[in-house]
Amino acid sequence: MGDTDVVTSCAIGIDVGGTNTDAVILGGDRVRAWHKTPTTADIQTGVEHAIYEVIKKAAVPPTSVRSLKIGTTQFINAVLEEDASKLDKVAVIRLCGPYSRGSPPFADFPPRLRRLVEGHFAYVDGGYQVHGQAICELDRAQLDEQISIFKSKRIRAIIVVGIYSPSDPSQEEDAASYLASRLGSDFDISCSHRIGTLGFLERENATILNASLRRFARHVIHGFEIVANNLGDCRLYITLNDGTLSASSEASYHPVRCFSSGPTNSARGGAFLASHQLQDCGSGDIEVLVVDVGGTTTDVCALLKSGFPRQSAAFVKIAGVRTNFTIPDVQSIALGGGSIVREHEGRSTVGPDSVGYRLEKESLCFGGSTMTATDLAISNAHTASISPRIKEDAIYEIRRVIELAIDQAKTKAGDATVILVGGGSIVLPSTLSGISQLIRPTHFEVANAVGAAIGKISGAVDRVVVPGEKTVEEQLEEAKTLALEKCILAGGKRETAEVVEVDIVPISYVTNGATRLIVRVVADLWEDDEPGCRDEKSQATYIPHVLDAQDESQVPHKDTSEVKHATQKASTYEVTALVDVITYQPNLRGDFWYLSETDLQFLQDGVGVLGVGSCGEPYPSYIACLRQLRTGKPITIRRQDTTPDDAVILAAGFMGSPTVYLERIPGEHEISNAIHAVLKASQLSSFDAIIPNEIGGINAFEALLASSRLGKSTFDADAVARAYPYLWQTVRCLNGVSIAPCAVADGHGKQRVLQTQDSPQHAEDVMRDACTKLGSLAGLCVNPIRGTDARTLPKNSFSWAWSIGQTIALSRQNKQDPAQSVVEAHNGALLFTGKITSVTRNVACGFTRGITVLESFNDGAADSTSAPGTQLVVEFENENLSAVLRKLGHKDCIMATCPDLITFLDKTNGAPLGVSDYKYGLRVSVIALRASPVWMTKEGLALGGPQAFGLDTPYVPVGDAVYKEPKSVWELFGSDCQTSQ
């Protein structure tokens, strides 16, 4: 494996896996040697052995190694282990003013992990609006109060998280600098803008994990630095989640950025090793996939033209904690070299269980007694006993599952080029359906370590801009320049720098043109012997930190070779395993429904489906509702059909941008301030219940919260029976009820009241403009109605959402298709199953208008609407408006239009997706549910049908089923049903 050429400068790449530690030496663009060794419990010993062996095989002097690049699982494993010796308690300082207080830190952490890391949290003045204006100025006196608390609680890991800090980090940096000057070096202080992107709670969660790990990270990095220093003048780098590198000093500050680098390293390494074959075959527009087969699982991901893997669009959970890291979008299946082969009822099965790291002891080919996938690929005396029929059947099954995984990972129709890597890839056949070329590059066994060795430096910018003195285009160029400078400052070589990602996302429901800009730049590393290289060693020598009091013997090492599922998609919310979805019943006491945490989990998915792509994700309000219940404050829903005639019912919620909602998390007073303003304008002193203006997404949960905080109930109804973008698109307005008097309030002392309206459209325009001036998000309340009118509104809205969510949860529990389960149970039709291949957006008058194109993939279902070569074209204006099926050689077919409810569900878990989630490559099922008959009338279609949005499309009712009015939970379970939880 060695190379006898004289080498003056080379790099070593290391990938530490659960089973093996792989090492390669790279000289120029050549792999000069590689070595694979079992991962040791303490990691460092295995790394040292791998380096020693690979240097010996390459026959190069240790001093020629200029950089050591390591991908490690130690940081994620420390969290997965929930190890108190490696995790510190954390204090959280939010720069938020009046906002976010209903959704406290740590609220959604797994219980044991929360007990380990939760130390203290506080809300102080600070934060920014979406347009850049300060919510309130930083108050150092408030920080001084917190300093005393840190010291009294002996908490030394502190984070500062400010609203919109990724767009403007100055307040976070000022607060951190002040805290450091007052506390001294005995404390670790972290800023959230250095850890995550926009998405306040997710960024905060990531920063909490990061701060908790910093002491342990220094311990690990110190061990690696000892290894690097033993090589001479060698720089140490750690590989990051996005496939780039961090200097070791930076990695010790930001260990969470190293959590999920393994799949990225494999994809990058595979692309590098196969680069010549890709050039020879002239891949052009042909899609390239990397298939990495390990001992237990196979990962499939698509490569971008930059050679980096496509990134996931969804939030992800790290060890049960919701974060917004950038990680590769990987299709994983339970197939590997160690997968166990069995004969069952006359057919061969492969996996899902595996012998894993015990392959060399337990598989037949090594003299063991367990038949594995590897035994099918190796012929020796030990495998001669495998019958030809079992072998043929098992190989067929392997081919079937890998072809299905590859097809689901594709983002475009047609054959793809596949690069096979990983030690387990010998189990795969040499030809596969849907593949134009199958490449097994040299050194495929250690592609992950190669990916680490070729790692580059990056710089990124994620900010929201508003056109004014400068256009969005001019500010995009500034963002590119800033990302470039960040990359160079981190150690990148300017002449090799390239922009690998530019994303321009208009923010909906705002009228000032606010746009989110995401830019990423990568570059090669400087090398010491290159002209112009920096003199200093970027991560230099380990400097002991005063907090690192624990020596190595006090930070135990554990064997985590079988730790699984470190990350998972978090676009939905798991129902705890302790709840049996089949037998669970809501807690009904007469006319009132007392919600539990399980009810909230059902409602999340249900209101997401009824949101038809808009309204934003209810995660922050879900956290706030959890807080209400856990502090003993009931959340109740009142039965609709028994309400008194003279009851006063208010319609309340939020108005503004869902994108802003996920960063400027609501406080506790926006809606209540708007309610009090409307009560005053209506000359009322009290009210009886609240309904959401629409049942979709955010506003359903915010109505629940407002009711609970004011000691009232939420009415089991809404004003729309779905979601619409305009205030006047409600059944109230359809019935001639005025929107005014109405009010918006920012929860920070500002509000706008409209006493009378010229028309519903006039009320919409006034309120929308006021909302934008209040930061593009405001509490809203509109004209109260009486009980007699409330009973004419869409019926049993929360019951309907709950039932949809229960259906999705039940399908997950029973391993069924959630999309099919929903349409069978709720008046619907499955329109299409496929991948998003195109999303175009533009914003006009504050609303995002666009088109999403999906292409079919073969998932084994005999569905003509999703046959190969077909497309579904979905038009949206904040909500999904129409779905049109296109087949080559056929006339376009209208599958569904508004007012019917068109919703995208995540193909993996059935989680409902919003239009802001739509991104190239996402795999989804598109369903449609029948709308309430009130929207089928001539007047209803004029207000909420295709023509209301300027579509030249007739209304076509979805499916063949007759509309069935949703039943209330009282009808389903009886009036006095005690919860089974």
- Assign 3-class secondary structure to 627-681: HHHHCCCCCEEECCCCCCCCCEEEEEEEEECHHHHCCCCCCCCHHHHHHHHHHHH
Question: Using alpha carbons only, how large is the chain's radius of gyration in Å?
Answer: 29
Reported confidence tier of residue 979, pLDDT bands at 50, 70, 90: low
pLDDT over threshold 70, residue 947: yes
Mark out the alpha helices in 74-199 (DSSP H runs): 74-81, 111-117, 140-153, 170-183
Residue with tokens 């068109």: 902
pLDDT score for 278:
78
This prediction has a pTM of 0.82
Reported confidence tier of residue 8, pLDDT bands at 50, 70, 90: low
pLDDT score for 550:
42
How far is 483 from 230, CA to CA, in rounded Å?
34
Q: What is the mean pLDDT of residues 124-152?
A: 95
Q: Considering only 32-41, 48-57, 648-657, 678-687, which range has the smallest mean pLDDT? A: 32-41
pLDDT over threshold 50, residue 565: no
pLDDT score for 573:
40
pLDDT score for 537:
39
Q: What is the mean pLDDT of the chain?
A: 85
Reported confidence tier of residue 220, pLDDT bands at 50, 70, 90: confident
pLDDT score for 862:
42
**Listed residue (326, 328, 324, 325) closest to 308, CA to CA:** 328
Q: What is the mean pLDDT of residues 408-428?
A: 79
pLDDT over threshold 70, residue 529: no
256-312: per-residue pLDDT in tens?
888 877 778 888 888 888 888 877 665 567 788 888 887 777 888 888 777 777 766
How far is 750 from 760, CA to CA, in rounded Å?
23
Reported confidence tier of residue 857, pLDDT bands at 50, 70, 90: low
CA atoms within 13 A on the CB side of 551: 1
CA angle (758 as vertex; 753, 759 as ends), nearest 5? 100
How far is 759 from 744, CA to CA, in rounded Å?
18
Q: Two tokens at 906? A: 């995540």
Q: Two tokens at 905? A: 């569900």
pLDDT score for 518:
83
Which residues lie across from 293 on neighbouring strands? Answer: 298
Beta-carbon contacts of 141 under 8 Å, excluding residues fewer than 6 positions away, are none
What residue type is 477 in one-letter code? E
pLDDT over threshold 80, residue 161: yes
Q: What is the mean pLDDT of residues 349-368?
A: 83
pLDDT over threshold 80, residue 345: no
pLDDT score for 820:
93
pLDDT score for 200:
94
pLDDT score for 498:
83
How far is 246 from 238, CA to CA, in rounded Å?
5
What end-to-end distance do the CA atoms of the chain give, in Å? 61
Which stretch, 8-17, 104-113, 507-516, has highest mean pLDDT?
Answer: 104-113
CB neighbourhood size of 152 (10 A): 9
pLDDT score for 486:
86
pLDDT score for 552:
42
Q: What is the mean pLDDT of residues 615-631?
A: 86
Reported confidence tier of residue 567, pLDDT bands at 50, 70, 90: very low
**Listed residue (640, 610, 784) closest to 700, CA to CA:** 610
How far is 742 from 420, CA to CA, in rounded Å?
61
Who wins on pLDDT, 495 or 89? 89
Percent of the chain with pLDDT over 70: 88
Reported confidence tier of residue 115, pLDDT bands at 50, 70, 90: very high
**Listed residue (294, 309, 228, 297) closest to 14, CA to CA:** 228
pLDDT score for 560:
41
**Region label for 210, one of left (φ > 0), alpha (ψ between -120 and 50) or beta (otherwise):** alpha
Who wins on pLDDT, 424 or 22? 22
CB neighbourhood size of 518 (10 A): 19
Q: Considering only 281-285, 747-751, 960-964, which range has the smallest mean pLDDT? A: 281-285
pLDDT score for 23:
93
Q: Considering only 31-45, 286-300, 533-547, 743-757, which range has the smallest mean pLDDT? A: 533-547
Q: Two tokens at 228? A: 């690097």
pLDDT over threshold 50, residue 145: yes
Reported confidence tier of residue 720, pLDDT bands at 50, 70, 90: very high
